[in-house]
Amino acid sequence: MAKAILTIATILLSTPPLPTVTATTTSQECGIYLAESSTDHVLGSYAGRTYNRDDPIGSSDAIVQFVDIRINNQHLSEQDATHLESFLGTCWSGDATAGMNEAEEVISAVGGPCFSSTGHVGMINAVIYQPSTLLRTDHDLLTSGYDELTSPGRGAFTYYHNLTLLAVDKIQEGSEIFLDFGAEYNQYDDVSKPNIDDYRKMDEAMEKMVAFFKKHGESLGEKAASEVYEFMKKDVLDLTAEARAEAARSLLPETYHGLQAIIDVGGSALHSNPEVVKDMDWLRKEGYCQDNLVPGVSKIEHAGRAAIAARDIKKGEVVAPMPLVPIVKGRDVLTMLEYDEGDETKPPIKYKQFLTNYVLEHPKSSVLFFPAGPMTSYINHGGKKANVKMAWSTKLWSDVQAAQKASVDELPFFSAVDMIVDLVATRNIKKGEEVLFDYGDDWAKAWDEHVKHWKEMTKDVKLSQSAMVLNEIYHGADTIQPFPTSSEDSLAGDNVQLMCHLLYDEDKIERRRNQDGSRTKVYPWIPHPVTGEHRLKTDLAVRGINRMDCIIEERTGDEKTGYKYVVRPLQEKAGLKILVKNVPHDVIRYVDRPYSNPQHEGHAFRHSIRFPDDVFPEAWKDLKDGYNERDEL
Ligand SMILES: *[C@@H]1O[C@H](CO)[C@@H](O)[C@H](O)[C@H]1NC(C)=O
C-alpha cells in the first residue's frame, strides 16, 4: 500500500509544471473586468467605468444554442446525469437568449460577463437584454460574401449573436456586476436577507427621516428625537414591513445621527456591502479585461463572424481569460441519436450536437471543455497564422493547480474560478486585427475534407434560406421592404415563422365588429420596457415572454413614414382572438421553425477544437489508448 502511494506521489512530483505566463493588460480603457466575486469563491465581473441605467456593458457576444440534450441523454448513469446538470447549470435557458424556437428544449452556452457574473438578492444592477439577440441584424455578415445556400460553413457557426448586458441601475466604477437570474433563483422571498426592494424602500425612508430630524430634531431635543427614531425603527417597521421587518431594519443605523452617512455613500446597499466595490488599481493589476475583443466578420472564407481586437495588444499580454467548463463524457453527451420512425430496431443515426464545434477536446481524455471566455466563441482557426496561445492563469485568486491535479471525476466539482486558461498574444496585435487560435491539425484536416465534399454531400438536398436571410431583406440597411400581409405573396418558406415582439396596453381596449357579428378585441402596441422599474421583477425584459408567433392582417404607411401593422398573435391559449394595432416594422422578425435553422442539418461541419498538449494536464488523461470513435456508446 505504502509503495503504491509512493508511486503516485512520485508521478505527481515528476509531472512537469504546465506553462504559464505572467502578463496583464495594461490598458486603462477596459470597460469590464473579471476577478473573484466579492460574495464567494466564484467568478465575478466588475465595472471598469461608471455606467448609467440602460447602458450596454462589455462587448456583445455570441450564443451557442444546443438542443434536447436531456432527452438525448436518458441512458446516463445517475452520477453522469448529475455531472451533465452541473454543466447545464452554467448555461442560460434558450428563453433568455431568444433561442426558444430552435427545438423542444433549448439551452444556451454563453461566455464572458453573461457567464462569469454572479447574482445577489439585494444588488442586481444588470440584465441580459433579450431583445438584443432577438432583434439582431446580420447586414455585415450577409454583405461580406457569405452565401448560406452554397457555403460549406452553413450550419457550422452560430447565427445567434449580439448578446448584450444592460445596466439597470447606475453602476459605479469598480463595482461588481450582479445579474438578474429571476426572482426565484435570486431568493427574492428569503426573509433573512434584505432584498432589492428592501434596499430601495429603506433608502427612500431614510431620506424622509433625515428631512424629519432636520426639521424637528432641535425642538424635540436629543432624548425625544431618539425615541421617535426607535419608534419608527421598531413599531412602524414591524407593522408595515411585516415578515420583511427584520431584514429591512438591518439596513438602518444605530442612531438617527448615522442616517446621512448612509445616504452619502450612495445608499444602504453600498453601505452594507462595501466589499462589492473594488479598487480600480487592483482590478487593473489582478483582474482580467473582458472587452479586449469585439465582434466582426472574418476575412476567412466560410468562417462567419470573428473576434476582433478592440485595442492594440502587446505580445505576451492576455487577450481574454477562458474559464473552462467540463463536460464529463463529453463526446457521448454531445451525441444525438435519431431513430428511424418506421423501424425502431434499425440502429440510430448519430449526430453531433452543434455545441461540439465550440468545445475543446483532447484525444486522451473523455472530458470536453466549453471555454466560457468573453467573445472567445468568435475566435476562428488560424493554423500557422494564429496570434494567441493558451496558458494557465497565474492569478492568485484562481487555484488552477488544484484543478490540474484533479481526476476527471472530480472536475465537475471545481468552480470555473479555479479553471482559467489565458489566451495570450504570441505577437503584437493591432486594434482591428482578427484574433486567431490554432484549432489543431485534426480539425484543419477535417475541415478541408468537408469543404472538398460539400457539393457532393448537398447535391440532393434542398437547402432553404434561413430567417437570417429573410430578416436582412426586411430590415437590411439599404431599403426597407414592407412585410406582406397574410393575403399577399410571401418570400418565406415553410421553414420560417413570423414573430412579433408584442406588448400591448390592456387598459386601452377597442372592440371591432366582424362581419359575422362577433367582436374582436384590439389593443394598441406599446414599446417594450428596456429594463423596468422593479429590477428583480424584470422577468419581461429577461425572458422573451412577450415575443409571439404572429400573422400580419393589415399594413399602413410607406417607406418614408415607416410601416405600421395590425397583427394577430398566435397564442398558445386557443380561442383567444385578439389583434394588436400600431405595431412598428422594427419589432417584427422571421424566426426559424424548430429544427429548421441550418445548425440542425446533418451534413453541417462538426469538429471540436484541439486542447493543446503542452497545457493539457496529465491527470485529465483518462483514456490511455486515446479516444476511438467506435468505442462510443
Ligand atoms: C444589437 O441589439 C440592439 C438592441 O436591440 C440593436 O439595436 C442592434 O441593432 C443590434 N446589433 C446587431 C449587430 O445585431
Could you read off the pLDDT of 308-317 as tens digits, one per residue? 999 999 999 9
Among the atoms of ligand 1, which is closest to the Cα of residue 139? 13
Tell how far the Cα of 163 is from the centroid of ligand 1, in angstroms.
9
Tell how far the Cα of 23 is from the centroid of ligand 1, in angstroms.
34
In the predicted model, is pLDDT for residue 8 greater than 60?
no
Q: What's the confidence (pLDDT) of residue 185?
A: 67
Residue appearing with cell numbers 496583464: 24
Q: From 132, 144, 586, give the residue whose CB has the most ligand 1 atoms within 8 Å, as the site to mutate.
A: 132
Tell how far the Cα of 569 is from the centroid of ligand 1, in angstroms.
24
499-523 confidence digits (pLDDT tens): 998 887 888 888 888 888 888 899 9
Among the atoms of ligand 1, which is closest to the Cα of residue 134? 5
Q: What's the confidence (pLDDT) of residue 1?
A: 33
Contact 373, 59 (CB under 8 A): no
Nearest to 115 by CA among 368, 407, 420: 420
Nearest to 312 by CA among 414, 134, 433, 462: 433
Residue with the smallest CA separation from ligand 1 atom 11 is 136
- In the structure grid, which three cell numbers stand for residue 321, read together? 481569460
Residue with the smallest CA separation from ligand 1 atom 10 is 136
Nearest to 464 by CA among 595, 277, 618: 595
Among the atoms of ligand 1, which is closest to the Cα of residue 295? 13
Among the atoms of ligand 1, which is closest to the Cα of residue 135? 5
Tell how far the Cα of 299 is from the centroid of ligand 1, in angstroms.
22
Q: From 129, 136, 587, give the residue whose CB has the most ligand 1 atoms within 8 Å, as the site to mutate.
A: 136
Residue with the smallest CA separation from ligand 1 atom 6 is 132
Contact 630, 381 (CB under 8 A): no
Q: What's the confidence (pLDDT) of residue 632?
A: 47
Tell how far the Cα of 291 is from the centroid of ligand 1, in angstroms.
17
Least confident of 38-47, 59-68, 182-191: 182-191
Residue with the smallest CA separation from ligand 1 atom 2 is 132
**Residue 559 confidence class, pLDDT cut points 50, 70, 90:** confident
Residue 406 CB coordination number (10 Å) = 19
Nearest to 166 by CA among 531, 467, 471, 598: 531
Tell how far the Cα of 136 is from the centroid of ligand 1, in angstroms.
5
Residue with the smallest CA separation from ligand 1 atom 1 is 132
Enumerate residues 6+ apart whose C-beta is below 8 A from 324: 360, 369, 370, 371, 372, 416, 419, 420, 421
Residue with the smallest CA separation from ligand 1 atom 4 is 132
Residue with the smallest CA separation from ligand 1 atom 13 is 137
Tell how far the Cα of 372 is from the centroid of ligand 1, in angstroms.
22
Q: What's the confidence (pLDDT) of residue 187?
A: 73
Alpha-carbon distance 421 to 318, whole Å?
A: 10
Tell how far the Cα of 92 is from the centroid of ligand 1, in angstroms.
20
Tell how far the Cα of 166 is from the centroid of ligand 1, in angstroms.
12
Residue with the smallest CA separation from ligand 1 atom 5 is 132
Q: What CATH number should be reported for the domain whose range is 2-17+139-156+292-454+598-626?
A: 2.170.270.10
Tell how far the Cα of 63 is from the centroid of ligand 1, in angstroms.
14
Mean pLDDT for the stretch of residues 364-372: 97
* Whether the model pTM is above 0.75: yes
Contact 106, 141 (CB under 8 A): no
Q: From 63, 135, 165, give the residue whose CB has the most ligand 1 atoms within 8 Å, as the site to mutate.
A: 135
Look at the alpha carbons of 109, 113, 118, 124 in this order and tell me if their dihedral is positive or negative.
negative
**Residue 484 confidence class, pLDDT cut points 50, 70, 90:** very high
- Provide the CA 585 distance to its chain's centre, in angstroms: 27
Structural Rg of the chain based on CA atoms: 27
Tell how far the Cα of 441 is from the centroid of ligand 1, in angstroms.
36
In the predicted model, is pLDDT for residue 24 greater than 50?
no
Longest dimension (CA), the chain: 92
**Residue 401 confidence class, pLDDT cut points 50, 70, 90:** very high
Mean pLDDT for the stretch of residues 342-357: 90
Tell how far the Cα of 162 is from the centroid of ligand 1, in angstroms.
6
Among the atoms of ligand 1, which is closest to the Cα of residue 131? 5
Tell how far the Cα of 295 is from the centroid of ligand 1, in angstroms.
12
**Residue 529 confidence class, pLDDT cut points 50, 70, 90:** low
- Provide the CA 405 distance to its chain's centre, in angstroms: 30
Enumerate residues 6+ apart whose C-beta is below 8 A from 279: 174
What residue ranges line ligand 1, CB within 6 angstroms?
A: 131-132, 135-137, 162, 164
Q: From 141, 162, 471, give the residue whose CB has the most ligand 1 atoms within 8 Å, as the site to mutate.
A: 162
Mean pLDDT for the stretch of residues 70-79: 94
In the predicted model, is pLDDT for residue 110 greater than 70?
yes
Q: Which residue has the higher pLDDT, 493 or 533?
A: 493
**Residue 5 confidence class, pLDDT cut points 50, 70, 90:** very low
Percentage of the chain modeled with pLDDT above 70 = 90
Enumerate residues 6+ apart whose C-beta is below 8 A from 283: 33, 35, 46, 48, 174
Alpha-carbon distance 152 to 156, whole Å?
A: 8
Contact 564, 585 (CB under 8 A): yes
Q: Which amino acid is present at 543?
A: R
In the predicted model, is pLDDT for residue 77 greater than 80?
yes
Least confident of 35-39, 91-95, 203-207: 91-95
Nearest to 125 by CA among 538, 505, 569: 538
Alpha-carbon distance 282 to 24, whole Å?
A: 12
**Residue 368 confidence class, pLDDT cut points 50, 70, 90:** very high
Question: SS3 for 521?
Answer: strand
* Strand order across the beta sheet in which 562-569 lies: 510-513, 519-524, 578-584, 562-569, 547-558, 496-501, 588-592
- Provide the CA 172 distance to its chain's centre, in angstroms: 22
Tell how far the Cα of 164 is from the centroid of ligand 1, in angstroms.
9
Per-position b or e across 363-384, b if 16+ CB within 10 A of its CB:
bbbbbbbbbbbbbbbbbbbbee
Q: What's the confidence (pLDDT) of residue 504?
A: 79
Mean pLDDT for the stretch of residues 81-88: 96
In the predicted model, is pLDDT for residue 226 greater than 60?
yes
**Residue 7 confidence class, pLDDT cut points 50, 70, 90:** very low
Among the atoms of ligand 1, which is closest to the Cα of residue 162? 1
Q: What's the confidence (pLDDT) of residue 173?
A: 95
Tell how far the Cα of 476 is from the centroid of ligand 1, in angstroms.
12
Q: What's the confidence (pLDDT) of residue 15?
A: 45
116-148 confidence digits (pLDDT tens): 999 887 888 898 887 788 889 999 999 999 999
Task: Please give the mean pLDDT across all residues of the chain.
Answer: 89
In the predicted model, is pLDDT for residue 544 greater than 80?
no
Q: What's the confidence (pLDDT) of residue 445?
A: 97
Contact 174, 47 (CB under 8 A): yes
Domain boundaries, given as residue ranges, for the chain: 2-17+139-156+292-454+598-626, 467-592
In the predicted model, is pLDDT for residue 392 greater than 70?
yes
Q: Which residue has the higher pLDDT, 561 or 17?
A: 561
Tell how far the Cα of 137 is from the centroid of ligand 1, in angstroms.
6
In the predicted model, is pLDDT for residue 296 greater than 50?
yes
Alpha-carbon distance 123 to 45, whole Å?
A: 13
Residue with the smallest CA separation from ligand 1 atom 14 is 136
Alpha-carbon distance 258 to 588, whole Å?
A: 53
